Amino acid sequence: MALSDFALRRAKPREKPYRLSDGDGLHVLVQPGGSKLWQLRYKHRQKENILSFGKYPIVTLADARRKRDDAKRLLSEGIDPAAKREADKRAAEAAAETTFGLVADEYLERMEANGAAASTLSKNRWLLKDLAKPLSKRPIAEVSPAEILAVLQHVEKSGRRETARRLRGTIGGVFRYAIVTLRAKDDPTVPLHGALAAPASKGRAAITNERELGRFLRALDEFDGWPTIGAALKLLILTCVRPGEVRGAGRSEFDFDKARWRIPAERMKMRRPHDVPLSRQALAVLSDIWPLSEGSELVFPSIRTKDRPLSNMAFNSALRRMGFSKDEVTAHGFRVTASTILNSRGFDPDVIEAVLAHRDQNAIRRAYNRASYWDQRVELMQQWADLLDEFGRRRNPTKRLGATP
């Protein structure tokens, strides 16, 4: 006979547990303490099992019947409802443990395994570990577009529009990785396209006036901060490479006898090795700073530990300390400085492009440039270093860029 709420409420406990049947395997188990537990007795593959649905009246009579019907449908498909419940529980627990931070770590590891440059890894690690930190402990399958937008808008309101847009793309990369590894169903950054203000189009601040460059070089000679940073800035200007390539420079990359710095492909933006001629001034900078990195694989290790390179903020922080604003000069801007001044003085544009390691779109020219411009680059880098000395001496005849302050 089917149960009713009236009968369930009136059921009194006894000395031993007893059952009140509702039919089709569903019953209430009344415990001596008075609790009433819904259970379903069923058979699967000739084995009898019991599935619990919860306590009455938290689980109502109608709820219990619906759960019974759902279990019967699974049985009709050959599925054990108890086994499915356990599997669903484990999947939910795994999903809760699969946080955004965990998948982001895997994403970064995959980038590194695929040969991403150290500068790219550092930038993505900063975006995901620092700026996206509010998402780190959230189950990745539960992160909503609104949560991501809040993180992005926080960055945007600080004035870093381009960083906010880059952060959205990087977070999207983590979700796309989660999708292909079956830990997320969609990318919640997709609806956010157009939600952020477009960054103001502005090139990197750079000194392109020779007199102003001379003023800067004299200030750099007087730099009283950590000597590793001052030396790294000097090498950055003398070699025309990217800041990340200087910060991550390894001691094994330098050949003093051949006056050559060989930057491996994995540390280059264009993923091909780049040989840098070292002028007399560049060699002097390296010789002065070399003893300070003894015991490290890096030429310019961090102030805090020799196992890590200088931070990606070290150069620009030093420039601000020297009194130069972000609108006057940035670390990336020194390549613009060299290109502008050397071109204005009539040096060969093809050699300048080879110095800057720009990728020629013509494959034949690209191969020719790498093979044939070494001697010209050696000469140009020495001429550039001599020009820098000249700019710096215009008001201070005793200083040269490769000299120790």
| pLDDT averaged over 10-residue windows placed end to end, the chain, 405 residues | 88 93 92 93 89 93 93 91 82 74 92 83 91 91 93 89 90 93 90 80 78 93 90 94 91 94 83 88 94 90 86 89 90 92 90 79 47 84 95 63 50
- What is the bridge-based pairing of β-strands 36-44 and 254-255? unpaired
The residues assigned a catalytic role are 242, 269, 332, 335, 358, 368
Give me the pLDDT at residue 265, please. Answer: 82
- What is residue 303's predicted lDDT score, i.e. its pLDDT? 83
111 contacts 70 by C-beta, under 8 angstroms: no
CA nearest to 36, candidates 5, 2, 80, 68: 5
DSSP label at residue 16: S
pLDDT in tens, 173-221: 999 999 998 888 999 999 998 888 776 555 678 899 999 999 999 999 9
The residue ranges of DSSP E strands in 12-96, in sequence order, are 18-23, 26-30, 36-44, 47-56
Classify the C-alpha dihedral 248-250-256-260 as positive or negative. negative
Domain 5-90 has CATH 3.30.200.20: no
CATH architecture for the domain at 100-192 = Orthogonal Bundle (1.10)
**Coil/strand/helix, residue 89:** helix
The pTM assigned to this predicted structure is: 0.51
Give the architecture-level CATH label for domain 210-393. Answer: Orthogonal Bundle (1.10)
CA 182 to chain centre: 21
Cα–Cα distances in Å, from 217 out to 221, 257, 381, 387? 6, 27, 17, 11
Domain with CATH 1.10.150.130 in the chain: 100-192
Q: What is the pLDDT of residue 150?
A: 94
Quote the pLDDT of residue 361: 45
Every domain range in the chain assigned CATH 1.10.443.10: 210-393
In this prediction, residue 94 carries a pLDDT of 66
CATH 3.30.160.390 residue ranges for the chain: 5-90
